[in-house]
Chain A
Amino acid sequence: MTSIGAADLKRMFDAIAEAIEADKDRLCQLDGVIGDADHGIAMALGFNAARDALAPLELSATDPTALLNIAAKSFLNAVGASSGPLYATAFMRGAAAVKGKAILTDADIVALFQAMAQGIHDRGKAEIGEKTMVDAWLPAAQAAAAAHADGKTLSESLAAALEAAERGAEATKDMIAAKGRSSRLGERSLGHMDPGAASAVTVIGAIRKSLG
């Protein structure tokens, strides 16, 4: 059983910011094929803003809920776009899911992860199969919950989440976009991975690496 506090969550945001920055150009290129080529920029702006907002925090005096809300607000105000409301809602829902807890158990992290995916689902109103980040996030959250229920460790549960996210992102290549800007392409979106699903894999990969 792992126990995760504010300092660990801050390290998680550092890891996500680093991973997204390294992935920025690939995400912009994916977006250029079926969108407007700015997804990597928006994601990097958002996670850099979240990292910078968390940097000066007195972590011993900050609970996970407060930290996640600060990350959400800073991400949102730096970005706007689509990823702003989606990820801000994810972190705010995650914050609500662990309210009142200073130290998070494996079950708390899995609940936080599920709340994030649900937040993205609710805010964007996209369903599985519509070629969005939901195609990575929802299967990832289900896989994490299933692995945890099977008695797997947090590391194993997050690894299962990452695998499911990767499969989900891969599957978006065979989907016709139904939400967001690329939905105007119809069948021309076939064969291309959704950039939002691709960046979800990067985010989930960084979460697994830092918390798992």
Chain B
Amino acid sequence: MQTKKIINDGNRTVDEMLEGILAAHPRHLKSAEGSSRSIIARDGPRQGKVGLVIGGGSGHEPTFLGFVGKGLADAAAIGNVFASPPPDPILECAKAASGGAGVLFMYGNYAGDVMNFDMAAEMAAMDDIEVRTVLTTDDVASAPRDQRQKRRGVAGNFFIFKAAGAACERMLSFDECERIARKANDRTFTMGVALSPCSLPQTRRPNFEIGPDEMEIGMGIHGEPGIARGKLKTADEITDEMLDKILDEVAPARGDKVAVLVNSLGSTPLIELYIMNRRVKQRLDDIGVSVHATWVGNYCTSLEMAGASVTLMHLDAELQTMLDHPCDCAMFRAG
């Protein structure tokens, strides 16, 4: 049995989505000349500013293109569903984002993305654009702590891109922008839980099997198997299980500040996300950690997967300033 989707042609999904997005957000977004998969901020890139290029596979909207705009990313390269973009559109993004001060490539740590972005970086170097890469690795479930560099990048991308985008917007040096981007990644931790699968537009078949009464803790945003499968628990129990793992790594002291993101993987509604956030706040209050800001909603989805993720960014004064800095994107605004 094929899953139900509102689409026209499975092979045209991404391009038709992009047409709809450009129609909806003409004030914020445009595509690069001759490269429809390179989405550029209308008033982002400028002379002397470090450029920020993000990107990856489609199916995670509003990640990545929703975070393109003044004060956040200058451009996003758009791949097929769950597949890295090829080097050409990434290169076009780098050219559009370049203001002569260097370009940061930031994306989730996946083998395909690394190969394509690295090829694009080599091509950009031939055009005299200096590129540095900061991979996001916030998914606690995807590798042990001592192998942080092997972890995947998931919903925490939102915080990490936001901090880096603000550093670029404040016209900091290439070194400073890179340092802040790395620090933002080092201090951001995410755990996810999946309840039901998603299906790719081209196959319209569930991309993994899970029992009607089961959940999987730690599942990736492409349906990569997680760390533990078990019977579905209550919102408080699930949130506790996720927070235990996150807090073990954040290791906050009393009085420390965090930013919270409770994110839907696609079809889990706000009502459930807010129940989870209630528990997150209780737990943080219990240990004397204050919540500087909270975002709840669809920030990094996995098509129509049911489930959610919780992300904490362990703030310091600098990261707090970067999170608070104004930005104006097609699908996100701050300040």
List the 9 closest A-B pairs by CB distance, nearest first. A36-B222, A82-B112, A81-B83, A85-B115, A80-B86, A37-B207, A80-B84, A180-B111, A81-B112
Query: Does A138 reach chain B (CB closer than 8 Å)?
Result: no
**Stretch binding the partner chain, chosen from A97-105, A146-154, A181-189:** A181-189
Q: Do A42 and B119 touch (CB < 8 A)?
A: no
Determine the distance from Cα of A184 to Cα of B222 in the docked complex, in whole angstroms.
12
Decide yes or no: A42 and B83 within 8 Å by CB, A32-B208, A184-B152 being known contacts. yes
Query: Does A84 reach chain B (CB closer than 8 Å)?
Result: yes
Query: Does B88 reach chain A (CB closer than 8 Å)?
Result: yes
B223 contact set on A, CB distance < 8 A: 32, 36-37
**Stretch binding the partner chain, chosen from B197-205, B233-241, B261-269:** B197-205
Query: Does A123 reach chain B (CB closer than 8 Å)?
Result: yes
- Residue in chain B with minimal CB distance to A40: B203
Query: Interface 1/0s, chain B 112-142, versus A by CB < 8 A?
Result: 1001100100000000000000000000001
Could you name 7 residue pairs across A and B whose Cβ atoms are closer than 8 Å?
Answer: A36-B223, A38-B81, A41-B203, A76-B87, A81-B79, A85-B119, A184-B150
Query: Interface 1/0s, chain B 90-121, versus A by CB < 8 A?
Result: 00000000000000000000111001100100
Q: Do B80 and A79 touch (CB < 8 A)?
A: yes
B84 contact set on A, CB distance < 8 A: 80-82, 84
Q: Do A181 and B79 touch (CB < 8 A)?
A: no
A179 contact set on B, CB distance < 8 A: 111
Q: Do B83 and A184 touch (CB < 8 A)?
A: no
Contact of A185 among B80, B116, B207, B224 (CB under 8 A): B224
Query: Does A45 reach chain B (CB closer than 8 Å)?
Result: yes
Determine the distance from Cα of A184 to Cα of B141 in the docked complex, in whole angstroms.
9
Contact of A36 among B79, B205, B224 (CB under 8 A): B224
B220 contact set on A, CB distance < 8 A: 36, 181, 184
Query: Does A28 reach chain B (CB closer than 8 Å)?
Result: yes
A78 contact set on B, CB distance < 8 A: 86
Decide yes or no: A80 and B112 within 8 Å by CB, A32-B207, A36-B207, A85-B119 being known contacts. yes
Query: Does A77 reach chain B (CB closer than 8 Å)?
Result: yes
Interface size class of A (residues with CB under 8 A): 20 to 34
Decide yes or no: A84 and B112 within 8 Å by CB, A37-B200, A37-B207, A76-B86 being known contacts. yes
Query: Does A206 reach chain B (CB closer than 8 Å)?
Result: no
- Residue in chain B with minimal CB distance to A39: B83
Query: Does A124 reach chain B (CB closer than 8 Å)?
Result: yes
A35 contact set on B, CB distance < 8 A: 222, 224
Query: Interface 1/0s, chain A 38-63, versus B by CB < 8 A?
Result: 10011001000000000000000000
Query: Does B71 reach chain A (CB closer than 8 Å)?
Result: no
What 16 additional pairs, Cβ within 8 angstroms, besides A38-B82, A79-B83, A85-B87? A34-B225, A36-B222, A36-B224, A42-B83, A45-B80, A77-B86, A79-B80, A80-B85, A81-B83, A81-B116, A123-B115, A124-B115, A181-B222, A183-B150, A184-B224, A185-B225
Query: Does B143 reach chain A (CB closer than 8 Å)?
Result: yes
Q: Do B82 and A82 touch (CB < 8 A)?
A: no
Counting chain B CB atoms within 10 Å of each CB, which of A36, A76, A184 scores highest? A36
A17 contact set on B, CB distance < 8 A: none
Decide yes or no: A42 and B80 within 8 Å by CB, A36-B207, A37-B223 being known contacts. yes
Taking the closest CB of chain B, its distance from the CB of A32, in whole angstroms, is 6
Query: Does A9 reach chain B (CB closer than 8 Å)?
Result: no
Q: Do A81 and B87 touch (CB < 8 A)?
A: no
- Residue in chain B with minimal CB distance to A185: B225
Determine the distance from Cα of A146 to Cα of B80 in the docked complex, in whole angstroms.
39
Q: Do A184 and B143 touch (CB < 8 A)?
A: yes
A37 contact set on B, CB distance < 8 A: 200, 203, 205, 207-208, 223
Question: A64-85: which have CB < 8 Å to B?
Answer: 76-85
A182 contact set on B, CB distance < 8 A: 224
Taking the closest CB of chain A, its distance from the CB of B258, in whole angstroms, is 26
Query: Does A86 reach chain B (CB closer than 8 Å)?
Result: yes
Q: Do B82 and A36 touch (CB < 8 A)?
A: yes
Determine the distance from Cα of A21 to Cα of B86 in the docked complex, in whole angstroms.
21
Taking the closest CB of chain A, its distance from the CB of B67, in whole angstroms, is 19
Determine the distance from Cα of A101 to Cα of B278 in the docked complex, in whole angstroms.
69
Query: Interface 1/0s, chain B 61-85, versus A by CB < 8 A?
Result: 0000000000000000001111111
Contact of A85 among B57, B116, B202, B207 (CB under 8 A): B116
B85 contact set on A, CB distance < 8 A: 80
Q: Do B203 and A81 touch (CB < 8 A)?
A: no
- Residue in chain A with minimal CB distance to B111: A180
Decide yes or no: A84 and B111 within 8 Å by CB, A184-B220, A188-B225 being known contacts. no
Determine the distance from Cα of A212 to Cα of B57 in the docked complex, in whole angstroms.
38
Q: Do A82 and B115 touch (CB < 8 A)?
A: yes
A28 contact set on B, CB distance < 8 A: 203, 205
Determine the distance from Cα of A77 to Cα of B77 in the docked complex, in whole angstroms.
12
A42 contact set on B, CB distance < 8 A: 80, 83
